[in-house]
Chains A and B, each alone.
Chain A
């Protein structure tokens, strides 16, 4: 953009702007890192993050676009060449930015930073901001570019074509595995947010008939009138939210909607199964519209709230839990801060979206940096906001919600006592007053991140928009998270089903037919049983489940990112630019270090809180000593071994994939193999 501006005056002003912005960002980082004793304002976090994003976008994204990838503004995109008015559609870049952002942002960037806040705000901030600039945004951009040059091919197809069939197969397994763990952990987050909460359960249950009604409206009554149906749906959602309070206060209705973890978990599994075999128009599409709208609306609202309130961060920069003794999840700062915050810094899942609908909608190649790189910066900013919301809470309150009940005890007195021993002060009265203010019987031990994020958001919203509505804002935040997690359960079960049917089709052809109902029922059932197994395990886990499941999710997500970065590196090397391969190799090396260390520790660490096998041994010892029911203990030991095996498989897949990629890179570098990119042929664009 600066090339056309000839006047040296404008040039100078621009240079001055970037220098000033860089200095401001550096000042903000200095304040965050060095200020001790009194609390830091969230303003500094926001300033440091935004300053870094802008500088990175202006300089690094441009370097990637021009030097590394060779974006060609004259080259027609698939949206232009294959325009069909349906999925291949040239789309204005700011609209597509919104579309892409809505597709990549979900529960991940909100929950991860909340959990990692147990280390303090500093490590998470550094990883979210620098991880995205050097890793996550690079991955999204490179994969988006690769897919755009290949008519919108998926990550799996690119892995198969550019590296080899074995890698393609491994990528498929990785995608299926991450999907199952992701669904289990998200379902666990919802379960923990809803258990014994009639208000929450009522308002979430209401979303189902609302979505069904919208589905019928949009297809049968007034086909295609999606906007009016969505607006009506949102109005009904808010009504359900307000109605939830009356249900919770009614002595007759409240017991109907009060359930423990296990019934909720079974309910979610039933929902996932039924929803994923219903026609898409009836439930999935309307839910998707509702949750996308709510997502964008809430993110905007949260940004406004944080900017109005600019809350002081009460959590210290670093807590004593960097040594691995933290109650929220076990493990030291390295590698577990980097596993816990997956989305928000780098998320392999995005590679699926960046090689899905978005590349088919890019109007001009020159738009790709804003959408691929810029979209991910925006997601990182969501993670920063979630971190602000969580660390603005009183640390005592934060730990009372996020530590498992096993560590807190069942009463506010025992919880206050336990938290005092961790070095934070909170009174039993404070804890009782908090749960009363949000209309819940108790917030103790509501692990999973969503409830504490909701409390943090409710604080910010009520600070910005009115103090009296704390309970309503809390349940608004819970509903917002549960709404799109339920959508993910449906969509994810469906995606898993398609992949499973592809595998099963090789065994017996009819099982591969997605139009054959028995095959759909079987494959959906298998996927639901798979994630349901981990979900039930998490609900029963005395450590809260998040402790074992979230790291597995983090590892699998980073594993998928490693797949994506291997594909990206291959594309760059084959394009004849091995001297720039470090842009993807550096984040790949970091991810491998993190994933393999974390995986190893989760399997083999001798601390029973951390290592799955050590926990199995510990449980066996407890059974032998008569301190544990043998049947229950045997089940726990079996679960530990399944988790250990899964972590082992993840690590094996990473290593196998890396070796296959290195073999390909070396063959190309040594000249043994002619580098042939499987790009679509060049056509000149008609868009000036």
Chain B
């Protein structure tokens, strides 16, 4: 859902290991858009969006693996104040 409206295709194959090599963003499928919206609404980490951001903004920086990203996102989200109401 980045403004570019594109997503990084290689994401889906990523497992525990190394971050994927950056490839140029391709048009997103309806399914990946839905998945991304679902993740954003429920407050889940969205690795595809992170990769896209990294591709566009920080092409020369080292990438986080999916697990590193997951850990950082969760620590940040639940590490501070209230995230949900009563």
Contacts and interface: CB of A to CB of B under 8 A. Distances in A.
Nearest to A157: B81
Given A90-B2, A222-B15, A491-B78, A357 B83 contact: yes
A154 B69 CA distance: 24
Contacts of B71: 219, 281
B67 A226 contact: no
A505 to B, nearest CB: 15
Contacts of A186: 86
Interface residues of B, number: 45
Nearest to B72: A86
A224 B37 CA distance: 15
A492 B35 CA distance: 28
Interface string A336-363: 0000000100010110110011000101
A198 B27 CA distance: 51
Contact of B74 (A89, A96, A280, A296): A280
A350 B69 CA distance: 28
B61 to A, nearest CB: 11
A224 B69 CA distance: 8
A105 interface: yes
A421 interface: no
A343 B16 contact: no
B41 A347 contact: no
B41 A86 contact: no
Contact of B54 (A85, A343, A487): A85
A87 interface: yes
A528 to B, nearest CB: 17
Contacts of B81: 154, 352, 356, 495, 498
Contact of A357 (B2, B72, B77): B77
A285 interface: yes
A85 B49 contact: yes
Contact of A219 (B35, B46, B54, B70): B70
Contacts of B6: none
Interface stretch (A60-68, A286-294, A606-614): A286-294
A169 to B, nearest CB: 16
Contact of A95 (B3, B41, B70, B77): B41
A103 interface: yes
B75 interface: yes
B70 A103 contact: no
A89 B49 contact: yes
A84 interface: yes
A224 B70 contact: yes
A370 to B, nearest CB: 14
A86 B83 contact: no
Contact of B15 (A89, A223, A230, A352): A223
A316 B39 CA distance: 43
A224 B77 contact: no
A687 B3 contact: yes
A105 B42 CA distance: 12
A352 B84 CA distance: 8
B83 A103 contact: yes
B43 A103 contact: yes
B1 interface: yes
A549 to B, nearest CB: 13
B74 A87 contact: no
A91 B50 contact: no
B1 to A, nearest CB: 5
Contact of B70 (A223, A293, A495): A223
B43 A99 contact: yes
A494 B53 contact: no
A353 B41 contact: no
B76 A280 contact: no
Nearest to A156: B81
A95 B1 contact: yes
A90 B43 contact: no
A491 B83 contact: yes
A222 B80 CA distance: 26
Contacts of A357: 43, 77, 83
Contacts of A296: 41-42
B18 to A, nearest CB: 12
B20 to A, nearest CB: 12
A250 interface: no
Contacts of A495: 81-82
Given A86-B72, A280-B75, A281-B74, A227 B44 contact: yes
21 contacts: A86-B73, A89-B46, A89-B53, A95-B41, A98-B41, A99-B43, A103-B43, A179-B82, A222-B15, A223-B67, A227-B35, A280-B79, A285-B78, A289-B43, A356-B80, A357-B83, A488-B84, A491-B84, A492-B82, A498-B80, A687-B3
Given A86-B73, A102-B43, 20 more contacts: A84-B53, A86-B76, A95-B41, A103-B43, A179-B82, A219-B71, A222-B16, A223-B16, A223-B70, A224-B69, A280-B75, A288-B83, A353-B82, A353-B85, A357-B77, A484-B84, A488-B84, A491-B78, A491-B82, A514-B79
9 nearest A-B pairs in the assembled complex, by CB-CB distance: A85-B53, A223-B67, A98-B41, A85-B50, A108-B86, A224-B66, A352-B82, A226-B44, A280-B78
